[in-house]
């Protein structure tokens, strides 16, 4: 099987993305994880005079025990008009101690004359001199030909001369960069094929996604002969991002039979993608190919019916191959097959002809029409269905709640106080509690927990992890109905519930009580 080199630049190019900022510890944690997964190269950053964070990254990386990857430093060619040994930026690259150094140089005449303000001949010398100088220090050196495809389009001979200069200097890979992200796949294919034929050293590809073609351009470059693939986890990068390695790697291995990572590692791709997003403190892209939560989610009734019979009828690969899972969504698009599938873990012997399935489906459709949404609230769906099936949980009976919001002066923070009155099973008297909170929903949450904690001690392990509100009818102004989606977790399990009402407190109460009921019956194994 053909093998390509995977070069990750999340810690450098990825960090140039809007809203991505990684600390030194973050970078080293991600680097360690990528190394464990068998990535060939990990670009750690640009260590120079103005980047103390990246200098610290490389200082600490020297003491790390690398299992597979080479840690790479990134920089540019020397400045015009000076010798490479007099260029402080090149000296920082050598002093970083990185075994591999990647430098970029201009391959588009527009950038040479209008941005650098030098001549084409001087630019060619800058590339060759810089590569040779770094090679003399003992490092492995790769050359990123910046704006190569635009440069080729503008002046083919000059763009190729830049690659020739890097090869003469001793570069061990020539990386063709679609820096503006505007090239089309067939154009990329033809140029990569030409350079692979023309040059002795491996040809690499580095694509940005400004026209949505980064993954496609990377794929077709490999098919044209590129052996060195650069990209980032989750496609982080300047503007619209870089080629997403969480898509590129599965495509290479599953679609074209090209080995990218060690055997068996592909099954960790989903976990890696979501973990890196958590470290970077950004929301995970649920619709991302292969690794997104929606990548193998099925909603339409006919789709669900087909995929439950023959998975490959609507799935191009098995979700487990990339560490993902199939999800069957409940909505007003659902059919009987969806409802049956979702309830079989509760009622293993449930027959598809059971008339109660139709009752559940009809109720779901009616409630979704009223604004409920069960795709992210599967706990609320299960409770709804089990009640249709005749189950009464009887955990508590509401006898009243009240929420007070106020503030004592303009300069003070507002306060929230909630009181809750419940009757517990087997008791003739009520439990009456009150609590303060950061807001009305938090106050309600604290108050109901106080009322239930003696009867249901497992409630102490439940934690509210997400709370979202959406106005369903914006034209209604402040009188429009709202949907509250709530997520609770306990012992590593997470579940979602939903509430809908014109009053946001009532909608929140619905979602909150559903969540608590579901958590208790799950903890106690209360099945039909």
Tell me the H-state helices in 79-202. 88-95, 109-110, 120-136, 148-154, 156-169, 185-198
The rounded distance, in Å, linking the Cα atoms of 53 and 200 is 36
Instruction: Give the residue-averaged pLDDT of 283-307.
Output: 83
Q: What is the pLDDT of residues 423-438, one digit of tens each?
A: 998 888 889 999 999 8
* Phi, psi (deg, nearest 5) at residue 35: -65, -45
The rounded distance, in Å, linking the Cα atoms of 324 and 322 is 6
56 is a domain residue: yes
Q: How far is CA 452 from CA 146, 436, 449, in A?
A: 63, 16, 5
The rounded distance, in Å, linking the Cα atoms of 361 and 363 is 5
Q: Are strands 5-8 and 327-328 parallel, antiparallel or unpaired?
A: unpaired
Q: What is the pLDDT of residues 118-140, one digit of tens each?
A: 999 999 999 999 999 999 999 99
Instruction: Give the residue-averaged pLDDT of 190-195.
Output: 98
Least confident range of 160-169, 247-256, 476-485: 476-485
pTM: 0.74
Give the pLDDT band of residue 512 (cuts 50, 70, 90). Answer: very high
Q: Could you tell me if 223 and 322 lie in one domain?
A: no
336 has a pLDDT exceeding 70: no
Instruction: Give the residue-averaged pLDDT of 446-461.
Output: 93
Q: Could you tell me if 10 and 128 lie in one domain?
A: yes
16 is a domain residue: yes
276 is a domain residue: no
Which CATH number covers residue 48?
A: 3.20.20.70
pLDDT of residue 64: 94
Total domain count, the chain: 3
Q: Could you tell me if 344 and 477 lie in one domain?
A: no
pLDDT of residue 427: 85
pLDDT of residue 180: 97
pLDDT of residue 528: 52
pLDDT of residue 409: 86
Q: Could you tell me if 338 and 198 lie in one domain?
A: no
User: Which one-letter DSSP state was computed for residue 498?
Assistant: E
Mean pLDDT score across all residues of the chain: 91
292 is a domain residue: no
Q: What is the pLDDT of residues 12-44, one digit of tens each?
A: 999 999 999 999 999 999 999 999 999 999 999
Give the pLDDT band of residue 525 (cuts 50, 70, 90). Answer: confident
271 is a domain residue: no
Q: What is the pLDDT of residues 62-101, one digit of tens each?
A: 999 999 999 999 999 999 999 999 999 999 999 999 999 9
pLDDT of residue 408: 83
Q: Could you tell me if 148 and 117 lie in one domain?
A: yes
End residue of a domain, out of 245, 262, 279: 262
496 is a domain residue: yes
On whether the CB atoms of residues 121 and 161 are closer than 8 A, the answer is no
Beta bridge mates, 489: 463, 494
pLDDT of residue 314: 83
Instruction: Give the residue-averaged pLDDT of 189-205.
Output: 98
212 is a domain residue: yes
Q: Could you tell me if 231 and 303 lie in one domain?
A: no
333 has a pLDDT exceeding 80: no
269 is a domain residue: no
Instruction: Give the residue-averaged pLDDT of 197-223.
Output: 98
Tokens of 159: 């763009």
Contacts of 27 (CB under 8 A, 6+ apart): 11, 44, 45, 57
The rounded distance, in Å, linking the Cα atoms of 118 and 347 is 75
Contacts of 427 (CB under 8 A, 6+ apart): none
Instruction: Give the residue-averaged pLDDT of 208-225.
Output: 98
pLDDT of residue 334: 60
Q: What is the DSSP string of 417-481?
A: EEEEEEE-TT-SSEEEEEEEESSHHHHHHHHHHHHHTTT-GGGGG-EEEEEEEEES-GGGGGGS-
The rounded distance, in Å, linking the Cα atoms of 361 and 243 is 42
Q: Which domain holds residue 441?
A: 397-523
Q: Could you tell me if 255 and 302 lie in one domain?
A: no
End residue of a domain, out of 353, 388, 423: 388
pLDDT of residue 527: 61
Q: Could you tell me if 373 and 448 lie in one domain?
A: no
The rounded distance, in Å, linking the Cα atoms of 490 and 494 is 7
In 3D space, the residue among 483, 519, 523 whose CA is nearest the CA of residue 383 turns out to be 519
Q: Could you tell me if 333 and 443 lie in one domain?
A: no
302 has a pLDDT exceeding 60: yes
End residue of a domain, out of 344, 366, 388: 388
In 3D space, the residue among 260, 315, 265 whose CA is nearest the CA of residue 289 turns out to be 315
Contacts of 127 (CB under 8 A, 6+ apart): 77, 105, 143, 162, 165, 166, 169
Instruction: Kindly provide the residue ranges of all beta strands, DSSP E only, lying in 290-357, ordered along the sequence.
Output: 297-298, 327-328
Q: Could you tell me if 247 and 304 lie in one domain?
A: no
Q: Could you tell me if 381 and 408 lie in one domain?
A: no
Q: Could you tell me if 89 and 222 lie in one domain?
A: yes
Instruction: Give the residue-averaged pLDDT of 281-298.
Output: 90
Least confident range of 50-64, 361-375, 508-522: 361-375
pLDDT of residue 58: 96
Give the pLDDT band of residue 265 (cuts 50, 70, 90). Answer: very high
């Amino acid at each position: 099987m053909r093998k390509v080199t995977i070069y990750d630049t999340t810690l450098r190019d990825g960090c140039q993305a809007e809203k991505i900022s990684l600390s030194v510890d973050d970078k080293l944690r991600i680097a360690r994880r990528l190394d464990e997964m068998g990535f060939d190269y990990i670009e750690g950053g640009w260590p120079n005079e103005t980047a103390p964070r990246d200098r610290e990254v490389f200082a600490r990386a020297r003491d790390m025990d690398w299992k597979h990857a080479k840690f790479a430093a990134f920089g540019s060619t020397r400045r015009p008009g000076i010798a490479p040994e007099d260029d402080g930026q090149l000296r920082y690259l050598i002093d970083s101690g990185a075994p591999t150094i990647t430098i970029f140089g201009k391959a588009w005449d527009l950038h040479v004359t209008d941005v650098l303000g030098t001549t084409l001949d001087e630019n060619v010398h800058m590339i060759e001199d810089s590569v040779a100088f770094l090679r003399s220090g003992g490092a492995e050196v790769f050359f990123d030909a910046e704006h190569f495809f635009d440069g080729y389009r503008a002046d083919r001979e000059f763009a190729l001369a830049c690659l020739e200069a890097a090869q003469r200097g001793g570069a061990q890979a020539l990386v063709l960069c679609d820096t503006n992200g505007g090239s089309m796949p067939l154009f990329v294919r033809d140029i990569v094929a030409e350079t692979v034929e023309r040059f002795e050293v491996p040809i690499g590809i580095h694509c940005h996604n400004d026209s949505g073609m980064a993954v496609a351009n990377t794929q077709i470059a490999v098919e044209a002969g590129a052996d060195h693939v650069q990209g980032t986890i989750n496609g982080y990068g300047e503007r619209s991002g870089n080629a997403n390695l969480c898509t590129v790697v599965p495509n290479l291995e599953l679609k074209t039979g090209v080995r990218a990572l060690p055997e068996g590692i592909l099954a960790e791709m989903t976990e890696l993608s979501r973990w890196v997003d958590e470290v970077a403190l950004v929301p995970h892209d649920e619709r991302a190919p292969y690794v997104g939560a929606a990548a193998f989610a099925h909603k339409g009734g006919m789709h669900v019916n087909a995929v439950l019979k023959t998975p490959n009828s609507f799935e191009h690969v098995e979700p487990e191959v990339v560490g993902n899972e199939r999800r069957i969504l409940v909505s007003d698009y659902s059919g009987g097959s969806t409802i049956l599938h979702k309830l079989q873990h509760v009622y293993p012997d449930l027959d598809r002809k059971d008339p109660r399935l139709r009752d559940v489906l009809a109720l779901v459709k009616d409630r979704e029409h009223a604004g409920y949404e069960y795709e992210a609230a599967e706990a609320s769906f299960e409770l709804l269905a089990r009640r249709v099936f005749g189950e009464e949980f009887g955990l508590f009976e509401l006898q009243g709640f009240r929420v007070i919001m106020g503030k004592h002066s303009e300069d003070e923070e507002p306060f929230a106080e909630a009181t809750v009155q419940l009757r517990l099973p087997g008791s003739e008297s009520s439990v009456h509690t009150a609590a303060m909170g950061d807001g009305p929903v938090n106050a309600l949450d604290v108050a109901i927990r106080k009322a239930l904690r003696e009867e249901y001690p497992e409630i102490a392990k439940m934690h509210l992890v997400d709370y979202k509100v959406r106005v369903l009818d914006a034209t209604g102004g402040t009188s429009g109905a709202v949907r509250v989606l709530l997520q609770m977790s306990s012992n590593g399990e997470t579940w979602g519930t939903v509430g809908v009402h014109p009053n946001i407190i009532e909608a929140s109460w619905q979602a909150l009580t559903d969540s608590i009921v579901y958590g208790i019956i799950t903890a106690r194994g209360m099945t039909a």
